[in-house]
Structure 1
């Protein structure tokens, strides 16, 4: 049996300096670990998945794009 350490929103935001909305948008696009619904009003994240995400960002040589930015999209 594997034990996982879960962190709440407060601890997540202390680790990841992004807004709630940005984290939610990243989750919806599959670019951030998904939250785990513990109850109808309480969510948590797997600490190992968050740490792996941070490492992947550190190891990524490309500059991060703005959320919602698509370089191939036609200008309006």
Structure 2
């Protein structure tokens, strides 16, 4: 996320995490939403890298979608492991 910077990554990550928690009907707090969004963006970028795609230097919107995708995956994995 070097194209956006840390402050922007936190903002985009927070928004992506919040949207993901609403999509997945997860009962998480603001801090966990931010963490899920940021980690989700990292996971999403890693998955895209394996597929040969690169969204790291993309726009806020591209990073938001990558963060959302990654956060949804993280919430799904958390639920699968927690059962």
Same fold, judged at TM 0.5 (above): no
More strand by share: 1
Normalising by structure 1, what TM-score?
0.32
Q: Which has the higher contact order (CA 8 A, sep 6+)?
A: 2
Larger radius of gyration: 1
Structure 1 or 2: larger helix share?
2
Question: TM-score, normalising length from structure 2?
Answer: 0.30
